[in-house]
Chains A and B, each alone.
Chain A
Amino acid sequence: MNSRALCTGYQPIFGMSRRQALSTFGMGLGGLALNGMLGREALASRSGGEVGGLLGAPHFAPKAKRVIYLFMSGGPSQMDTFDPKPMLNKMHGQELPDEVRKGQRLTGMSGNQASLPLAGSPFQFSKHGQSGLEFSDILPYTAKIADDLCVVRSMYTEAINHGPAVTFMQTGSQIPGRPSIGAWLTYGLGSMNENLPSFVVLLTKGKGGQPLQSRLWGSGFLPSEYQGVRFRSGKDPVLYLTNPDGIDSTSRRAMLDRLRELHELQFADTPDAAIESRISQYEMAYRMQASVPDVTDMADEPDYVFDSYGKDARNPGTYAANCLLARRLAERGVQFIQLYHPGWDQHGGLKGGITTQCRETDQASAALVSDLKQRGMLEDTLVVWGGEFGRTNYSQGKLDGDNFGRDHHPRCFSTWMAGGGVKAGTAYGETDPFGYNISRDGVHVHDLHATMMHLLGIDHERLTFRFQGRRFRLTDVHGEVVKGILA
């Protein structure tokens, strides 16, 4: 259909030429960004004129331009993956010594147990790469990229249950309501692709486990355009992205052209900036209808790429497919890509449970790092892998040989990072021989956040937003950049 051919009687009388309109409204020419463009208006009304958070330029030269955060929801067990504790195997079945526990609080799930028997890992550890980093045998692919990783073994948090702990890790506060880390960074950095959101969230489909809430990638008190846009694995990666059945893009384009003409007429009568903004909003929506499927349709990836991420990579919504999609998003300028993979909550049946978790994530996580490296993107992409807390060195419930579970443990856990200015091939921090407390170089959640922001060129103390009379920041009034992991 040629919509122009049908109507010849009408010419826009709006004082601006179409060419001018196109350049003004950012039809692929202007510098208006999907997230950034309307932020200012919203911010202005929201914070009484303050737009200070939006950085014209970073506070200092960034090492990383984007983040891919592989969030392992549920709390992966550190002593079964990255933090070998032979002492636990030696003392398997013996009571957790009081001098190790030091009376620190336990959850209501194991806190009332009459006995807390230590449990050694059922997995074998070995050293890998030139760095000699140790991994358990359920992480064979991650082990192969040992020399690209910085494993932090001394992470700690304050929360002891999933809700508060995930919220803390994702927003810097245990109580819901604060902006997520991705929202803060988007607020600080703006956008690099006007056709895609700056902050995209991907969840592994079909996983049980602890429920995740949209507020974890929400914008809290920041304007809503900074919230993460969750790409769904179904028909519409974005809410109502697809036209209604029966409407194709020619019909839609024709309708939008007429709608724009209506808006142009209106603007001619009442030249209000809000009308301009509405016009560009519709144009961008139309472009997203093409740009989002372009990134989510992975048919153009060669077989060897799919193979490197694992056979799941061909199945949309799996962790492997999401890792590959994350790389595609990163290539197109999306700055914060957050994956969630639930199911790491091994209160019982740890051996089988965590083996499955690793099978689902190990190959694709490693492939993502390698793929980025191969494309020369790893140096300015920060990849973070980790959960909200660790797990206890003792068995929750009965210890029956190597059939046991582990409860939540906030006092130490492991996280790895790669690329984006972190020291590769290192382990940072140490836990005690029981894997219960940190013995050296603890990294608090706020410190992790401060460090991530630092790598992106942001001073975590200076990226603030005023709400309810005070300046808020991701790291509250805490957080130290962990110098020891910077390259």
Chain B
Amino acid sequence: MFNPERRTQFLLVIVGLLVVVPTNAEVQYNRDVRPVLSDRCFQCHGPDSGKRKAGLRLDVASDAYANLAAPDEAPRRAIVPGEPQQSELLKRVYSHDPDKLMPPPESKIALTEPQKQILHQWIAEGAEYQPHWSFIPLKPVAVPKELAADAWCRNDVDRLVLAKLRETPGLNPAPEASREVLVRRLYFDLTGLPPTPEEVDRFLNEKSPLAYEELVEELLKSPRYGERMATDWLDVARYADSYGYQVDRDRTVWRWRDWVINAFNNNKPYDQFITEQLAGDLLPNPTDEQVLATTFNRLHQQKVEGGSVPEEFRVEYVADRTHTFGTAFLGLTLECSRCHDHKFDPVTQKEYYQLTAFFANIDEAGLYSYFTDSIPTPVLAIRNGAAKEKAAALEAAVAGEERALEQIKTEQRDAFEQWKQALTADEPVVEGELARFEFEDATNGHLANLAREDQPAKTPAANVLIEGRPGRGNAIQLTGDDAVTLPVGNFPRHQPFSVSLWMWAPDKVEREVVFHRSRAWTDSASRGYELLIEDGRLSGALIHYWPGNALRVQATDELPLQQWVHVTFAWDGSSRAEGLTLYVDGRPAQVEIVRDNLYKNITGSGGDNITIGERFRDRGFKGGRIDDFRVFDRELTALEVAQLYQPKPVPSIAKADDRLAYDYYLAKHNEPYRAQLAKLQEARKARNQDQDSVEEIMAMREKAGAPFAYVLQRGHYEGRSEKVGAATPAFLPPMSPGAPGNRLGLAQWLTDRSNPLTARVTVNRYWQMLFGRGLVGTTEDFGSQGELPVFKNLLDWLALNFIDSGWDTKELLRTIVTSSTYRQQSFVPGEIMTSDPENRLLARGPRYRLPAEMIRDNALAASGLLVEQMGGPPVKPYDVAESFTPSSPDSGDKLYRRSVYTYWKMSGAAPVMIALDAAKRDVCTVRRERTSSPLQSLVLLNDPQMTEAGRKLAENCMKKHGDKIDATIDEMFLRLTSKRPDARQVAVLRCLYSEQLAYFTANPASAEQFLKTGESPRDQSLAVPELAATAVLAKALLNYDECVTKR
């Protein structure tokens, strides 16, 4: 993120400030050379083997020194250490021949003269390479001993800072900030809220030498701390209350946000914090909370737009998880290696896909369901203790009834024999028929239902009636685009049912829908049940949400083509795959269980009855023929199915297989069995109702089998090439040999102290949170193109201490905020403000406009409107009505909650927050931009939230101080800036008040109108013009720099 030209100049500034530079100071590879090579040369001569030109690689010493000439030519080396004249690189860089000049003129990235000189000097000095600093393992940092007793230094942070400052004569730390400034700084940094006037005074009056440290402890213990810390983490996790992309429907994921707040408040060690989010589901006997943490991986945008290709977006989701992992934890721009090897860092394209494999191994769909509100699988069911007990009891009841049924089955042989002896009627008789269609003729598109005359099926004329099985009259031939719709079929999953038909398939296909009960295919995640032909084989399924909440069995044998086959789809109501039997020509087909994980309803979403031959945006049964289609409201027994296939002369029961006859007898004639079956169904119904109603949240659940992914050419989902397993990049330390090869192993690798990046990246982000800028300014990029830290020792010291403290986040913050470095004044007169505008040298304290959330929360807190309720569903303040995708604001308390709870719509997030530079959260964001524009002024001036807050603050002050305007000014100033106004400020504000009072006295109706802003009623006991003028006074202070800027 750093223009090398500027960088060089800037480094010269810094070098000028920090080191006594001997003329011709030695050039260092990491500091001086790599930025030039990386930015201007690696594009074609770097890690990306695919784009490498002329076989030359400049990021690895041995390659750069190698002979490039053919064997019969004179040796030619890009770099000859110590020999600038012989180094081809320099010849090219200084060449005047446009055909030879490097970088080539058409690349439009020419080298500047100082850059050329750096390369020249480096080669002259021996062209020594250094490993990239952030990839080198952490080593203990020597803290300067001579500063052990230095009066300014409170801890080692200060010693490492001061040692660096001392390298430059005349550069000194700034004096400590005033106590008013410190108390405000601390409150915002650790709780995101301002101190109350009482809290300010308490701190100012506290005589204890440890007052500051005690305040730090108090604030770290405040529940507000977790909310403040979570706000930043929501950016990292791309948290939103909607799915994003184009349709952007709402999703319910706030329980994960509350998990984050609690985790911070409980000071969950950071290694556990990230392990649980990455892989909580893979921990031994994970708690629900640990699984809930993994929602982190599912917070990327999700797609529902009609006609989209599911695989395209599944690939996108996996990519997003991987990029988030890279940005948030490793500070690596992994996304650069999605289409080719990384241009700047040693990550190959293959390694990229090996990393994605960790995140690909869940049973998910690439699209969420348009026609239902099902939660995309995999999910965690949200059940508290009592609900869990209830669910377990209901499950036990089902198991009990199932056992009882099995028991009865063993006890009724005698009754069966007696029944057989006494048999007089014709058996078997197939009962329970709800519908039957023989497709003999179609009148006005109606097909006769032989079971219920008043309920015909319907078909467009395009489906034609043609001769069916020999001697069996007509059948229907389907176009694949025209549906035959039946009047029946809306079965809940506890209800046994059967469908039988004759079918004739013209050819082998990848996929065709024979019949189904559902609204759509991917647009409803296939909710319902269906009989398909997949890869030429019959495939039956009951589905709540494909693929993660469904069962499917698929025949192992291919369906015979161009001949009539009798098929029965028989369901027992169990919610288990073994409960679905596919019969082919009267016999159960051999099947393979594809999925066996159905735990929610299969009804709903529309398309309530059976449809034959066609489905919305799916492939129909083109050219297929159907005859004798029947629907039953019970699970047919094998004997009955055989009878449907080949009606035998009755009575045939005596000749039937005894086992089949017994099953038939139980189902049809044995009262104890039938009564128990009814009880079982009731138990299943009760269990299913409980399951159907349980709330769910997206989470991670590892699929069986080792994770894998395909290398995708150009990153395109259709460009599958090599299949790869899960692995970490080779340039970083390996995973430990015994580690599981899944996300848990990845998390262990990430949090192992040998990993050079995780702790550095993390402490840098927290430094950034407190100072407004990381020690590495490119918080998201610790790679070759990232910024080289001035205070690398300090970064490493913090990182190592962080690990040694047991990844104790509060301890890390405590260490930083109790340092003298943090406590410096943020403004110092002199050139340093302009020569070091970003405060890279840390010779003063942090100073920047507060983040969006703090600006709003500050107004709410100072005015007394803030509702400090924690957690729960997101809330909608006034400004969501002005969003690009507007929502209705909430009312009452919900208008005044902290901004961390504000409803976040990805396609149009709270516009006030966005205007104030909140991250959009469509991707992982570890650094917000800070801009300043008139649009922000308009927001602070005219947002009803701000206007109302100003009025409330005015009311509170007036109630307390009556018409003593100076007292009101004093208190308002204190509430909004944590300090008392001086005489000059009071004069200005008094003037403001009297002007506004004159205005409102002259315009009483305007005053009334102005005081109506916001939902909360105005205090009727207060004089209107005075209140209005005081409210404008408050409003002005809400726009005052000292109110909105951290100083």
Contact = CB atoms under 8 A, between A and B. Distances in A.
A162 B303 CA distance: 12
A239 B910 CA distance: 11
B560 to A, nearest CB: 22
A431 B260 CA distance: 56
A108 B908 contact: no
Interface in A218-270: 218, 223-225, 229-230, 236, 238-248, 250-252, 254-255, 258-259, 261-263, 265-266, 270
Contacts of B1006: 246-248, 251
Contact of A262 (B1, B994, B1036): B1036
A133 B614 CA distance: 44
Interface residues of A, number: 97
B6 A50 contact: yes
Contact of B1 (A6, A229, A240, A467): A467
Interface stretch (B395-403, B495-503, B561-569, B929-937): B929-937
B3 A49 contact: yes
A175 interface: yes
A359 to B, nearest CB: 26
A277 B780 contact: no
B984 A470 contact: no
A272 interface: yes
A299 interface: no
B23 interface: no
Contacts of A176: 245, 301, 922
B308 A251 contact: no
A468 B781 contact: yes
Interface in B7-23: 7, 10
B918 to A, nearest CB: 10
Interface string B319-343: 0000000000000010110000001
Interface in B990-1047: 991-992, 994-996, 998-1000, 1002-1003, 1005-1013, 1028, 1032, 1035-1036, 1039-1042, 1045
B987 interface: yes
B687 interface: no
A242 B6 CA distance: 42
Contacts of A210: 246
Given A238-B935, A246-B1010, A263 B1040 contact: yes
A46 B929 contact: yes
Interface residues of B, number: 115
Nearest to A214: B884
B1040 A262 contact: yes
Contact of A214 (B907, B989, B1003): B907
B999 A265 contact: no
B197 interface: no
A215 interface: yes
Contacts of B785: 468-470
B307 A262 contact: no
B991 A6 contact: yes
A161 B481 CA distance: 22
Contacts of A193: none
Interface stretch (A120-128, A280-288, A322-330): A280-288
B138 interface: no
A176 B906 CA distance: 11
A285 B1008 CA distance: 25
B618 A466 contact: no
Interface in B954-996: 984-985, 987-989, 991-992, 994-996
A259 B999 contact: no
Contact of A281 (B343, B915, B937, B1003): B937
A258 B991 contact: yes
A38 B931 contact: yes
Contacts of B215: none
A49 B2 contact: yes
B1036 A259 contact: yes
B479 A115 contact: yes
A272 B833 contact: yes
A91 B305 CA distance: 32
Contact of A109 (B306, B787, B1012, B1041): B306
Nearest to B973: A262
A114 B620 contact: yes
Interface stretch (A7-15, A136-144, A145-153, A437-445): A7-15
A162 B938 CA distance: 34
Contacts of A241: 938, 942
A175 B715 CA distance: 12
B617 A48 contact: no
B786 A469 contact: yes
Nearest to B522: A108
**B783, B930, B1002, B1012: residue with the most chain A Cβ atoms closer than 10 Å:** B930
A20 interface: no
Given A108-B309, A239-B939, A285-B934, A48 B7 contact: yes
Given A161-B305, A211-B248, A265-B984, A250 B999 contact: yes
A411 to B, nearest CB: 16
A250 B942 CA distance: 15
Given A48-B778, A254-B999, A408-B307, A470 B343 contact: yes
Given A108-B309, A213-B884, A48 B777 contact: yes
A41 B932 contact: yes
A178 to B, nearest CB: 11
B578 interface: no
Contacts of B343: 470
Interface string B758-797: 0000000000000001000110110111110000000000
Contacts of B1035: 255
**A50, A161, A240, A255: residue with the most chain B Cβ atoms closer than 10 Å:** A240
Contact of B336 (A229, A236, A468): A468
Nearest to A163: B246
A461 B109 CA distance: 10
Interface in A442-482: 459, 461-462, 466-471
A113 interface: yes
Contacts of A160: 307
B479 A114 contact: yes
Given A114-B480, A246-B1009, A285 B3 contact: no
A114 B513 CA distance: 12
Given A251-B996, A468-B1, A42 B929 contact: yes
Contacts of A247: 1006, 1010, 1032
Contacts of A163: 245-246, 303, 305, 308
A62 interface: no
A226 to B, nearest CB: 10
Contact of B884 (A108, A230, A270): A230
Given A47-B3, A246-B1008, A282-B937, A213 B917 contact: no
A432 to B, nearest CB: 24
B988 A265 contact: yes
A424 B1036 CA distance: 55
Contacts of A38: 931-933
B336 A177 contact: no
A57 interface: no
A115 B837 CA distance: 66
A214 B623 CA distance: 46
Given A229-B935, A274-B849, A459-B108, 12 more contacts: A42-B931, A48-B7, A108-B307, A161-B305, A213-B248, A239-B911, A245-B1013, A251-B1006, A258-B992, A262-B1041, A282-B1039, A469-B344
22 contacts: A1-B998, A10-B988, A113-B481, A163-B246, A213-B885, A225-B933, A238-B935, A241-B938, A246-B1011, A246-B1013, A255-B995, A255-B996, A255-B1032, A259-B1040, A262-B1040, A263-B1040, A273-B837, A281-B934, A282-B1039, A284-B937, A288-B934, A469-B1
Interface of A: 1, 3, 6-7, 9-10, 13, 34-35, 38, 41-42, 44-50, 52, 107-109, 111-115, 160-163, 175-177, 210-211, 213-215, 218, 223-225, 229-230, 236, 238-248, 250-252, 254-255, 258-259, 261-263, 265-266, 270-275, 277-278, 281-282, 284-285, 288-289, 397-398, 407-408, 459, 461-462, 466-471
